[in-house]
C-alpha cells in the first residue's frame, strides 16, 4: 500500500480549518464567520481562546500568506516550519476538546458537615494528607475548614491538659477559621477559566483558596472536584 505524505503547508491548512470549526462552535452571537472576528470576540468570553489569542491571530496571517500564494489547489509556494505546524496542530486538538477542570481536580472530594465529628476531620488529615476541606451546613457550602484552624482550636484547649474529641463538632471549630475565598464552577468548565479565576483574584490582592466543581456551579450541590493553587502549580 502506497504511503501518502502530506506536506507541511497542507497540514497547517487542515489544522487551521479544524480551529476555525472549533471556534465557530464555541463562539456564538457574532456576525459572520471570519476567523479573526471569532478570535477577537471569543477572547472576551472564553479563557481558553484568550490564552491562545496572539498565536491564533498570527496563524491567521500566516494562513493568508500561504493560501494566497498557491500556484494551484495542491501546490504551495510558502511552507511553514515544522515547529509551527506541530504547534497549530496541538492548539487545534486543545480547542476541539478542552481539558476540563474536573479531569485534573482532586476527586472525589473529602468534605464534612457542620455537625460532623472533628475527630473524623483529623483522621482524614492523617490518612489522606489533606489540609483543607469544604464544610456544608443545611446542604450549602459555607466555607473551608483547614488544619490551621484545628490547631488554633486545640491550642485553646491545652489548659485542660487533655483534649476530648469525641463530642466536638466541626461547627465548634469553624469560628477559629480564617475567612477563605472560594469560587464555584460547573463540571464542564475548562482549566483555562479556572486558572484565570486564580489570576484575577491575585491581581486584586485577594487569595483564592480553592475552586469547587459541582454539576452546575452552585453552592448547594455536591462537590465533584476541588482545585487549589498548588494543583495548578503541579499541572504547569
- 144 beta partners: 134
Closest CA to 231 of 194, 185, 204: 194
Cα angle at 182 between 181 and 185, to 5 degrees?
Answer: 150
Confidence of residue 120 (pLDDT cuts 50, 70, 90): very high
The pLDDT assigned to 1 comes to 41
Last residue of a domain, one of 63, 98, 133: 98
The pLDDT assigned to 73 comes to 54
Same domain? 107 vs 219: yes
Last residue of a domain, one of 69, 98, 127: 98
Last residue of a domain, one of 75, 98, 121: 98
Helices assigned H by DSSP within 136-204: 147-157, 170-173, 191-203
User: Is the CB of residue 142 less than 8 Å from the CB of residue 136?
Assistant: yes
Closest CA to 221 of 145, 141, 144: 141
pLDDT mean over 79-99? 92
pLDDT tens digits, 6-51: 688 889 999 999 999 999 988 887 777 899 999 999 998 888 999 9
Give CA–CA dist 102/189, Å, rounded.
Answer: 8
Same domain? 94 vs 29: yes
Reply yes or no on whether the pLDDT at 96 is more than 90. yes
Same domain? 223 vs 111: yes
- As given in the structure block, the three cell numbers for residue 114 are 457542620
pLDDT tens digits, 200-235: 888 888 989 999 999 999 999 999 999 988 877 765
Give CA–CA dist 217/22, Å, rounded.
Answer: 24
pLDDT tens digits, 132-184: 999 999 999 999 999 999 999 988 887 666 777 778 999 999 999 988 899 99
Query: What are the two backbone dihedrals, phi and then psi, of residue 199, each rounded to the nearest 5 degrees?
Result: -65, -40
The pLDDT assigned to 69 comes to 59
The pLDDT assigned to 2 comes to 40
The pLDDT assigned to 126 comes to 93
Q: Containing domain of residue 54, as a range?
A: 8-98
> Is there a domain that residue 2 lies in?
no
User: Is the CB of residue 214 less than 8 Å from the CB of residue 221?
Assistant: yes
Give CA–CA dist 114/172, Å, rounded.
Answer: 9
User: Is the CB of residue 60 less than 8 Å from the CB of residue 35?
Assistant: yes
Same domain? 28 vs 86: yes
Closest CA to 146 of 105, 104, 185, 176: 176
- Count of domains forming the chain: 2
CATH of the domain at 221: 3.10.580.10
The pLDDT assigned to 111 comes to 95
Confidence of residue 3 (pLDDT cuts 50, 70, 90): very low
Helix (H, G, I), strand (E, B) or coil at 1: coil
> Is there a domain that residue 53 lies in?
yes
Same domain? 207 vs 93: no
Amino acid at each position: 500500500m502506497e504511503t501518502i505524505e502530506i506536506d507541511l503547508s497542507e497540514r497547517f491548512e487542515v489544522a487551521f480549518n479544524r480551529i476555525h470549526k472549533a471556534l465557530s462552535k464555541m463562539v456564538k452571537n457574532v456576525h459572520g464567520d471570519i476567523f479573526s472576528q471569532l478570535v477577537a470576540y471569543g477572547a472576551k468570553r472564553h479563557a481558553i481562546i484568550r490564552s491562545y489569542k496572539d498565536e491564533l491571530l498570527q496563524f491567521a496571517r500566516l494562513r493568508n500568506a500561504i493560501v494566497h500564494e498557491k500556484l494551484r489547489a495542491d501546490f504551495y509556494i510558502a511552507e511553514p516550519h515544522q515547529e509551527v505546524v506541530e504547534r497549530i496542530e496541538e492548539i487545534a486538538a486543545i480547542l476541539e476538546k478542552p481539558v476540563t477542570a474536573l479531569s485534573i481536580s482532586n476527586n472525589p472530594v473529602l468534605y464534612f458537615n457542620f455537625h460532623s465529628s472533628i475527630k473524623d476531620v483529623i483522621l482524614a488529615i492523617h490518612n489522606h494528607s489533606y489540609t483543607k476541606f469544604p464544610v456544608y451546613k443545611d446542604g450549602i457550602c459555607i466555607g473551608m475548614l483547614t488544619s490551621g484552624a484545628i490547631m488554633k482550636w486545640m491550642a485553646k484547649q491545652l489548659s485542660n491538659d487533655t483534649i476530648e474529641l469525641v463530642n466536638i463538632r466541626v461547627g465548634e471549630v469553624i469560628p477559629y477559621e480564617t475567612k477563605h475565598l472560594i469560587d464555584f464552577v460547573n463540571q464542564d468548565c475548562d482549566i483555562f477559566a479556572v486558572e484565570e479565576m486564580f489570576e484575577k483574584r491575585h491581581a486584586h490582592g485577594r487569595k483564592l483558596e480553592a475552586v469547587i466543581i459541582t454539576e452546575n456551579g452552585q453552592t448547594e450541590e455536591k462537590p465533584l472536584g476541588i482545585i487549589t493553587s498548588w494543583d495548578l502549580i503541579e499541572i504547569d
